[in-house]
Amino acid sequence: MPVVDTSSRRTLFVAAAAAVAVPIFAWAVRRHLLARSKKLRGRVRRLMSYPVKGLDFTSQALPSVTLQPGGTLPFDRQWALKKGKADPQYGEFDARNPQWVHKMRFAASCSEGVILGGLRAEWRDQDCALSIFAKNRRGPALLAPASLLGPDTLKKAEDFFRESLADPGLQIVTAAPERRAHQFANTKPLQGMEGLMTLHIVNLATVHDVSRASGIEVDWRRFRPNILLDSGEDLPAWGEFQWVGRLVRAGDAWLRVTKRTIRCDATKVNPDTAREDLDMPGLLQRHFPEHGPYLGVYAVVERGGEVKEGDLLEGPF
């Protein structure tokens, strides 16, 4: 009977293992590449801009927008309600050298959601005029159209919010006229993307999946998207996460999806009642631990173009 030495046995074992492993590895690689090449398609249902950070403009959809490289929707978050006093750790905003500042420096839906959540805001592009109405209540405007460009009308708007928020030091701030427009973004820009504005994309199928899993009807308005996507084409719930780090095409524009959107206390506020009635971050972590407290994605514009309601948003490329 022939004797097979130990080294020969080891060689035979390695060869046999390789014969099994190589096809499996090749299959896994092909599957991974196929998944990455599969185009997910959603249709643009609504386009929304929020000219003043923290205010609800979701009743005012835009039929179309023209995006510029590095830009965002017209006027999106170009003004903010700066608190009279705030913890120094959150930084300070300098209109002559505008940089990203933590959202807790401002009165916004994450800090003043119950008060601001009861207001419906409208915007007039021609003169950058802000109007404020009480939600779910008929009657005249609480703040008649006040242009944020003129000192007198700006003061009128500031006085309204100073009284509403009991903050006599509050200011409505924006970048100085000689500076490039600044976006008071919720998320700190990634390294190498400083100065680029962001768009927030929410997949309606994902919102519906959260409703299904939790047994609670979740309103997409809690998430303040710039682009709300229908999933009728080929975009499953959570499919938008596959776009992170990749290019997508929206209408005639090309966007690079940069990261997922972490949800904060702002999403606890019911957009109809202005009451905190749902721990959205906790709900997401409880029902979707594989995703954590994330819903939606951020993107930057790499190549400009027109985007309209009804356009396809597809990728990755």
Task: Tell whether pTM > 0.75.
Answer: yes
* pLDDT value of position 13: 59
Query: Which of 108, 112, 76, 79 is closest to 93 using CA atoms?
Result: 79
Mind spelling out the 3-state secondary structure of 93-153?
CCCCCCCCCCHHHECCCCCCHHHHCCEEEEEECCCCEEEEEECCCCCCCCEEEEECCCHHH
- List Cα–Cα distances, 40 to 201, 230, 238, 249, 250, in angstroms: 14, 12, 11, 11, 12
As given in the structure block, the two tokens for residue 216 are: 């609670």
Pairing of strands 227-234, 199-203: parallel
- Per-residue pLDDT band at 34 (split at 50, 70, 90): very low
What digits encode the pLDDT tens for the residues 177-205?
888 899 999 888 887 777 799 999 999 99
What's the pLDDT tens digit per position in 240-270?
999 999 999 999 999 999 999 999 999 999 9
Token representation of residue 31:
């599957």
